[in-house]
Structure 1
Amino acid sequence: MSPNSKADDRQAALLGLVGDLVRELRAKQNGSIRVSLDSRLEQDLGIDSLARTELSARIERGFATRLPFDAIGQADTVADLLAALAQESSSLAVFESSTAPAPSSLPSAEAPERARDLIDALDWHVAHHPDRLHAAVLEDDRKIVASLTYGELAEKARRVAAGLIARDVSPGDRVAIMLPTSIDFFATFFGVLYAGAAPVPIYPPMRLSQIEDHLRRQAGILDNAGARILVTMPEGLALAALLRAQVETLESVESYARLCADNEAPLPILRDGARTALIQYTSGSTGDPKGVVLSHANLLANIRAMGGAIGATSSDVFVSWLPLYHDMGLIGAWLGSLYYAAPLYVMSPLSFLARPANWLWAMSRFRATLSASPNFGFELCVTKIDEASLAGLDLSALRMVANGAEPVSVYTLRRFCDRFRRYGFRQEAMAPVYGLAECAVGLAFPPLRRAPIIDRVDRDALTRRALAEPARADDPRAMEFVASGLPLPAHQIRVVDENGFEASERQEGRLEFRGPSATLGYFRNESKTRALIRDGWLDSGDRAYLAQGDVFITGRIKDIIIRGGQHLYPQEIEEAIALIPGIRKGCVAVFGAADARSGTERVIVVAETAITEPAARAALEAKAQDVVRDVSGTVADEIMLAPPRTVPKTSSGKIRRSAAKALYEQGAVGAPGQAVWLQMSRLAMSGVNPLLRRAATRAGDILYAIWWWIAATLGYAVTWSGVMTLPGMRRRWAFVRRIAAITLAVMRIPVTTKGFDALPAKGAMLVFNHSSYADALLLAATLPGEPVFIAKRELASQFFAGPFLRRLGAQFVERFDVAGGVADVEALANAARSGRNLVFFPEGTFTRRAGLSGFYLGAFKIAAEAGLKVVPGALRGTRAMLRGEQWFPRRAALDVEIGPPIEPAGTDFVAILKLRDAARDAVLALCGEPDIDQLMKPRPIRRDA
């Protein structure tokens, strides 16, 4: 057969396969469906993320091949699928059993129990076993595309940190990370931490057709976070530029490769568990983003509590498909594995969605003991994997698979345990858990080796009286809830009623919690923070009841519908309607709408279907109404059958009921999607106002810089003239102080001083940190008397500076060898004996980045030999006003603080060293900048950890 004939046959087979799937999705429309190579999968054929899972399975079965995991996820048209098939040169069994041996076990390793932050934890592992495998990135269930040891992670992260510092990222800044599952993500996240900044993970777009909604949501998050830099993949740089137009604080968009520096740089050493380690934005945060601020102490407390609850050790193996931008994948899977030295095998969520069996087979091949997934992941495994593809699967090594991040369906839980029991999965390994971003990730876990507990409660008692009374065994209308376990160690959970009083056993109410993992609030959102925390307890936003120590979640407070005093639970109704033939599973939203006339809420159902024939739709609505009545005992006020892709979802597939309600209230349910070019145009237009504001801010900065330099130039000219003409050192210095103070006032620079009463009137050595060329201006405006500035010898020969400084009594010395010449030492000693204070910058020079460098010994040798007190002082704000290697000034508040004098303890070398170190420690404490004299190669580790 000719190549062209084979290609034609492949094209015909693919079109037939896609057509069959579309006809099943669009029952009753057989005659109107036309599938061509140009047909767009989502917009024309209604094949969304879940339908792509089915499409992937059919293509791989039909063509006996394994497509790259992103071939279907990223495909926009049928032609894209055909191109992916044409690139596959090998034809192999779709789910061929692995012949690769199980991974060799690693030697046992301890956890860094005394680590105070995540950097401590990583560096502890680097110090003890740098070559130990930390993480491996899987393309599918068998192919490792990249791996990482602890040493490699630290090395890569430090290079990222150096790149960030070179871009002026300072401790406390926020850096957004929009990267897929990759080694780049791991290195970038820790690189941000090494730089002292706070990472803000956000998810990358899955498909171009979703670009408008995606970028608008991310722009709101970036703006709220005040992110200075966005790190994304090279392919995303063009799209990320649109984000920059939307976010005024965003200074640059970088890729991991561009960010990595050639050499390491001094990194800040900030040993404080209270520092922000992560800002986690919760799903669905569109108009009012909620960024949960989590400290290093919060994360470590949660990791340790979860690890204790599940008995985590270095002998565990974690396999995950969870996205790294979400707390369950980021903290529960990755950082938990890092802490306990358990190897992590991680695949992209797209790999799982394209082929759910990848997750199961990866757990089997790598002998996973731990894993996790939201409920919908278990549902996909039940419904989208053929039995033939599971031959040889072995899940017997699993000790625990957490089922969390969304409500646990009893229906899904039972079917998963029943189906995979024959493949070694024990129901005791299924662990329904409860957690939320406001508590890092985990809050309640069931005891190990306990089968899931399902509680059947009386529907009327719960919905009308908020009592979870056990139902009769034969009650067909009983409601079922899954136990999510007990509070983690050191954490507490309570349920309160409408009046804020703690509820009794089996009394449903609002779940509140507290503990060491609890956030202190939302970033830059005081109103939401006030609503979150009451009397030390945090509001979970969930309704629940407690029974025999276990917590049972009944629903989200904002989602529960109150109709005529009866509580209706949307998820229960959604699950039941989704089982109706013709309704798309996972594509039903139920919510309440206020009814002013009745004073209660109306029940609204939005359900996706591809059916368009009027009679069939009417029958579908009638069936949905029957289901609502059977499940809840009431009827829906309105049932809207909408086309595919109508019901909004989060990135993890959860129904966004509030967004669906907003569409309903706007009359936009079922409105057709817009072309990508139109979305891009609207995004570009929406960025005009931020660009104009940015331009106005920039213009203001430029005008201020011009004004600053005019004031500085005129101030220096006037000062130079006065110093060169006035007689007497006292008059000259009084004139200098006056003009310097006026110059700073004209620049609108506020200046504060502190501790000047501790300053000796004469005969002392003053040592300051050196931050900027503006240091001299600030000291000239504030220091009393006639100080003697120690200047580098190069200035003596300058035409203007040399005579000017000599008239003020400055002494010129070799920059890095102040005490090298006998004449220099004698001249300085004589100046001090004459009653003047010496002013030194013992760092010798300054850099553009924040931090205190090492002090040279010369100044302290002079002080010791001349018996001068050493007075430490700190200058704050000058670096921000005029940074080194930069001539563009900024408005900044300036501050000078003087510390207590330090007496020399002798003239021997050891005494001089102690004098220098004591002065430097004092200046470091006063200036508030990091200590950059200590490099992070390797970072100091406490061996007792």
Structure 2
Amino acid sequence: MATERERTTGQGGADDGAGRLLAEVRRLLAELHPGGAPAEVGLDADLERELGLDSLSRAELLLRLEDAFGVSLPESILATAETPRALLRAVRAATAPRPPDGSREVRSAAVGEAGIAPEAARTLQEVLDWHVLHHPGRIHVHLLGAGDTPEPITYGALRDGALAVAAGLADRGLQPGETVAIMLPTGRDYLLCFLGILYAGGIPVPIYPPTRPSQLEDHLQRHARILDNARTVALITVPEAKPLARLLQSRVGALRGILTPADLHGAAGAFGGLPARGRDTAFLQYTSGSTGQPKGVVLSHANLLANIRIMGRAVRADSSDVFVSWLPLYHDMGLIGAWLGSLYYAIPLVLMSPLAFLARPSRWLWAIHHHRGTLSAAPNFAFELCLIRIRGSGLEGLDLGSLRRVFNGAEPVSPQTLRRFSARFEPYGFRPEAMAPVYGLAEAAVGLAFPPLGRAPLIDRIRRDPFLRSGHALPLTEGDGHALEFVGSGQPLPGYGIRVVDEGGRELPERQQGRLEFRGPSATSGYFRNPEATRRLFDGEWLDSGDLAYLAEGEIYVTGRVKDVIIRGGRNIHPQELEAAVGELPGVRQGCVAVFGSPDPATGTERLVVMAETRETGPAAREALHARINGVAVDLLGIPPDETVLVPPRTVLKTSSGKIRRAASRELYEQGRSGRPPRAAWLQFARLALASLPPRWRRTRQASGRFAFAAWAHVIFWSLAIPVWLTVLLLPRMGWRWAVMRAGARLLLRLTGTPLRVDGAGSLDQGDQRVLVANHQSYLDGVVLVAALPRPVRFVAKAELRRKPIPRLFLQRIGVEFVERFDRRQGVADAERTIRSVRAGSALLSFPEGTFRSMAGLLPFRMGAFLAAAQAGVAVVPIAIRGTRSILRGRSHFPHRGTVSVRIGKPLDPAGTDWAAAVQLRNAARAWILDHAGEPDLGAGGAPNRM
């Protein structure tokens, strides 16, 4: 019988592959952590927490296992396998040999024609609508899955699917301006859901999806803060995450539903989408959220389209290009730069998942070859992966000659990477001038500075000592071996400005490092619900990038970050939270931990380093401490540190006030002078469930309060409505009836605690002959107007109410004018009667929208009231009502607490008695109400001319 050790390591008896697999794991660990790899590696060791293998390291391990066993492993293993045992099961299940890295066949995705772009479009929806109008069958996306055959998505199919999602969201009560989070992997569903939210009038909030069950607790904990800050009302996610994601509902106050794409596609009925304006928010891009208050960059449609158009002109992009991308769609470089830019310019987009690239970087290059890609983009680490992971045998027949521009951005660009990549792939058709180091940030949408076309990367070699001492970037002289190198990011895009300033905001001369500030047409208006961060962002008309840089001969050289944010694999990592968590571990000196990023000279990527003081000296204790620190890092950040350095007391440098000096500690580390056990999935679920109990109780208490208020409001309403109805029927004079109605309306508002603010009532003091027009939000509008208006008016109501005896008796007694909406002949007769009523001296009040919806927004206006005013020669007084829709929405009998305001505009005199004068009155009144009602325009493009 095998011993426990033999069963664990797979070394007992016949070798079933476990020994070979563990040998590959040990070999990789020895390369990654020379002298610091775990002494024992078992089949059940956690790949991240115990062995310290992040996603990039696991991708390398997968390639080695495929070579060692002669099999092809599915890319999903990269995300799902958490132990060597899981990898062993995958190896045993895989029987097919590993296929070639890419198809040698060339099938260009280019269509051929150029110059297709919707220059007049103001929103992303208008961009897609324009393409559907002109070429619905044109392929927009070639979606690469596990096989070599791409799934085509046409513009027509994209819009049809997006409208189906929009219909599903509208059916579930999504209101214009509400936010919906998307937590989905790259694929068709992501594209449809993003656009579907926009068509439904919502605001998408992209967040990255969970990858492994072991990260579930931390993933939900971190995203709960973002979802709460964004006031997210719905989360669209994968089916597997749906049961666990429901726990978020108790922690995110606004969250009403957890949905999957299938839930939304099943909605019945056609939905044409809601109109939008250029200044409307297109989506929120969160740049942080794991520490402090999340920072969601507000980007409008105008911001996005301005940036896309300017970037496109800078690279001369058009519909004859082909863009190949694996970038995640939850990140601005992939979402805006790759997808939305391609959408605008009708560029075929060859799209693969990030996991496909990480598992086999060669798939990216072969996709460029196969589809004759002309444009692509990636962070610096991706180019390093191609250098490290792609063997020479995997490049035979590769042709990158079609690639005219590949953008390198989103993280620091390494001069060594640029040189090595060009040298390695130049024999395969890659031209050095195709590489474009660029600079941008979410606060500018995505792009801010590009190098000129046709120029190879510019690398500035400067003297190290003067730069480190004073920030002077002095050019290197002959014989000086202590050089620093920085890569040029080009010049600001047309219409943008960039400057470098000192701490006092004074602009610095060339070759002097300072803070980089920018301005331009795509600059954000600020961070969503984060006024303090927004205040810090702006310096007058300039925005603070948070980066350090210098200028030389018009070229921008980014040198670092003002704050100690670490960029790892394109992600921003803030060190404070990890330092605090590691400092709480037994064996670590609290307050004596430094977390920083350090460039890896071998790979050109930024490494995450944890330096922690400890008094532990025994090998076993230090090894256990390493594992606990890895565990904490994975729990907080989703990745382990690249290196954990355990140092003796008083090694981590601090300021006189006790603050960690991260830059100085990093220098100590670079000069060579210098986690918790994994939780079971059931325990994570239990912890989240327990943490959700207090918020659940608060929500239950709040719901009880809402029910109590609704019940009280109904009691008060019916207690007043019945006697008011009877009194109005009995009183002989109109003035008396109006006084009773007004007293009842005001008493209803007072007893339900509903404040009413009335502005501009003086506009009604200049005579009785007026046509009053108001927006229509709720059944409460009539009650509110009776309480707000200083004198009696005659309401215009739909003729259907005449067929209901109880309302009809009441409305007739208060002089309501009934107007037919559907019988055109009767409608004309009713309009003529209304005109006579106005000429006779009556003040009429009409709701020209004709109806109202639960959805916020101003509907098109009907012409009846304005035609009556023009032909009677009387003024129109616009009235804007706010708040009633929130208190009592359409098709709802559940009132809520709220406040109401009524703003009365100045009279608008008609310019004549004809139809044109009536149209002019309508347009002027509607524009005034739209400006003061605080709701979106649902009649964009012009209200229809109808009675």
Compute the TM-score of the two structures, normalised by the length of structure 1.
0.83
> Is the 2:182–2:237 Cα contact (8 Å) retained in structure 1?
yes
Residue number in structure 2 paired with 1:620: none
Compared with structure 1, are the counterparts of its residues 641 and 505 closer, same or farther at alpha carbon in structure 2 (3 Å cutoff)?
farther
Q: 1:792 to 1:553 in 2, by over 3 A?
A: closer
Q: Is the 8 A contact 1:142 1:365 kept in 2?
A: no
What does residue range 339-418 of structure 1 map to in structure 2 within 5 Å?
A: 339-418=344-423
Q: Is the 8 A contact 1:560 1:570 kept in 2?
A: no
Give yes or no for the alignment of 1:444 onto 2:449. Answer: yes
Pairwise CA distance, 1:707? 2.1
- How many residues are matched? 870
**Quick check: 2:761–2:790 contact (8 Å CA) kept in 1?**
no
The separation in 2 between residues aligned to 1:819 and 1:754, in whole angstroms, is: 39
- The aligned residue for residue 143 of structure 1 is 149
Choose 488-497 or 719-728, whichever is displaced more.
719-728
Question: 1:809 — aligned with what?
Answer: 815
Match of 1:33 among 36, 40, 55: 40
- Counterpart in 2 of 1:575? 600
Q: 2:175 aligns with which of 146, 170, 176?
A: 170
Q: Is the 8 A contact 1:874 1:927 kept in 2?
A: yes
Contact 2:225 2:289 in 1 (8 A): no
Identical-pair percentage: 48
Q: 1:511 aligns with which of 503, 508, 516?
A: 516
- In structure 1, what residue type is equivalent to 2:609? A
Query: What amino acid sits opposite 2:62 in the alignment?
Result: S
Structure 1 residue 114 and structure 2 residue 120: aligned? yes
Amino acid at match of 1:421: E
**How far is the alpha carbon of 1:933 from its aligned partner?**
5.7
User: Is 1:338 matched up with 2:358?
Assistant: no
Q: Which amino acid aligns with 2:438?
A: V
Q: Corresponding residue for 1:686? A: 691
Q: CA deviation at 1:281?
A: 0.8
Q: Render the CA deviation track for 1:860-884: whole Å, top value 9, x for unaligned.
A: 7777787776655443332222111
1:863–1:555 CA distance, 2 compared to 1 (3 A): closer
CA distance in 2, matches of 1:746, 1:50: 64
Does residue 62 of the first structure (1) align with residue 62 of the second (2)? no
Aligned partner of 1:601 in structure 2 is none
Gaps of 5+ in 1: 1-7, 562-568, 580-584, 591-603, 618-638, 940-945
Q: How far apart in 1 are the matches of 2:565 and 2:210? A: 31
Q: 1:865 to 1:274 in 2, by over 3 A?
A: closer
Contact 1:19/1:35 (8 A) holds in 2: no
Alpha-carbon distance in structure 2 between the residues aligned to 1:284 and 1:856: 47
Please state how far the C-alpha of 1:201 moved relative to its aligned partner. 0.7
Root mean square deviation, CA, Å: 4.0
* Corresponding residue number in structure 2 for 1:13: 17
Query: 3-state SS of the aligned residue for 1:294?
Result: strand
Whether contact under 8 Å (2:596, 2:608) holds in the other structure is: no
Write the distance in 2 (CA, Å) between the matches of 1:308 and 1:655: 40
Match 2:136 to one of 130, 136, 139: 130
Distance 1:16 1:830 in 2: 97
User: Deviation of residue 887 (structure 1)?
Assistant: 0.6
Cα deviations by residue, 1:242-269 (Å, 9 ceiling, x for unpaired): 2222211112122222224323335432
Per-residue deviation at 1:85? 4.7
Alpha-carbon separation, structure 2, partners of 1:853 and 1:77: 58
Is 2:95 the partner of 1:95? no
Alignment of structure 1 residues 720-759 onto 2, 5 Å: 720-759=725-764
Q: Which residue of 2 aligns with 1:622?
A: none
Residues 722-801 of structure 1: pairs in structure 2 closer than 5 A: 722-759=727-764, 761-792=767-798, 795-796=801-802, 798=804, 800-801=806-807
Match of 1:435 in 2: 440
Distance 2:463 2:828 in 1: 95
Q: Which amino acid in 2 is paired with 1:516?
A: P
- Which of 53, 73, 82 does residue 76 from structure 1 map onto? 82
Q: 2:259 aligns with which of 232, 238, 254?
A: 254
Residues 416 and 268 (structure 1), Cα distance of their counterparts in 2 relative to 1, 3 Å cut: same
Provide Cα deviations, 1:772-796, integer angstroms capped at 9, x if missing partner. Answer: 2212212222344443334455545
Q: Distance in 1 between matches of 2:103 and 2:832?
A: 85
Q: 8 Å contact 2:409–2:440 — kept in the other structure?
A: yes
Q: Are the counterparts in 1 of residues 143 and 351 from structure 2 also a CA contact under 8 Å?
A: yes
Deviation by residue 1:807-848 (Cα, 9 ceiling, x = unmatched): 333455655348618996787677656643344445444332
Amino acid at match of 1:22: R
Residue 15 of structure 1, CA deviation:
5.1
- Matched residue SS, 2:113: coil
Tell whether the 8 Å contact from 1:220 to 1:286 is kept in structure 2 after alignment: no
C-alpha distance in 1 between matches for 2:787 and 2:608: 70
**Which amino acid in structure 2 is aligned with residue 33 of structure 1?**
E
Selected match of 2:704 from 687, 699, 702 = 699
Equivalence map 1:853-872=2 (5 Å): 853=859, 872=878
1:426 corresponds to which letter in structure 2? R
Q: How far apart in 2 are the matches of 1:822 and 1:313?
A: 53
Give the SS at the match of 2:159: helix
Q: Is the 8 A contact 2:215 2:638 kept in 1?
A: no
* Match in the other structure for 2:586: none
Q: Is the 8 A contact 1:17 1:58 kept in 2?
A: no
243-252 or 831-840, which deviates more: 831-840
Moved more, 314-323 or 797-806: 797-806
What is the CA–CA distance in structure 2 between the aligned matches of 1:179 and 1:873, rounded to whole Å? 44
| Structure 2 CA distance for aligned equivalents of residues 299 and 499 of structure 1 | 31
- What is the CA–CA distance in structure 1 between the aligned matches of 2:738 and 2:229, rounded to whole Å? 48
Report if the CA contact (8 A) 1:443-1:488 is conserved. Answer: yes
Whether 2:288 is the aligned partner of 1:263: answer no
Structure 1 counterpart of 2:184: 179
Matching residue of 2:212: 207
Asked if the contact 2:106/2:371 (under 8 Å) is kept, the reply is no
How many angstroms apart in 2 are the aligned matches of 1:13 and 1:325?
A: 38
1:53·1:384 contact (CA, 8 Å) conserved in 2? Answer: no
Q: Which position in structure 2 is the counterpart of 1:426?
A: 431
Q: Is the aligned partner of 1:550 residue 2:555? A: yes
Cα offset for 1:325? 0.6
Partner Cα distance (2:642, 2:548) in 1: 18
Compute the displacement of 1:81 (Å): 3.6
**What do residues 110-146 of structure 1 show as CA deviations (whole Å, max 9, x unaligned)?**
22233333233222322222222211221258331x3
Q: CA deviation at 1:571?
A: 8.0
Deviations 1:750-799 (A, max 9, x none): 22334544447445544444332212212222344443334455545656
Corresponding residue number in structure 2 for 1:525:
530
Asked whether the 8 Å contact 2:29–2:37 carries over to 1, the reply is no
Counterpart CA distance in 1 for 2:206 and 2:485 is: 35
Q: Does structure 1 conserve the Cα–Cα contact (< 8 Å) formed by 2:502 and 2:514?
A: yes
Quick one: distance in 1 between partners of 2:384 and 2:829? Answer: 85
| C-alpha displacement of 1:238 | 1.8
| Matched residue, 1:589 | 609
1:49, distance to aligned residue in structure 2 (A): 0.9
The answer to whether structure 1 residue 282 and structure 2 residue 307 are counterparts is: no
- SS for the counterpart of 2:600 is helix
After superposition, residues 924-943 of structure 1 pair within 5 angstroms as 927=933, 929-932=935-938
> Match for 1:225 among 207, 224, 230?
230
Q: In 1, are the aligned partners of 2:437 and 2:487 still within 8 Å (CA)?
A: yes
Q: Which amino acid aligns with 2:419?
A: R
The AA in structure 2 aligned to 1:589 is: V
Shift in CA distance, 103/790, structure 1 to aligned 2, threshold 3 Å:
closer
What is the CA–CA distance in structure 1 between the aligned matches of 2:621 and 2:883, rounded to whole Å?
Answer: 74
Offset, 1:911? 8.2
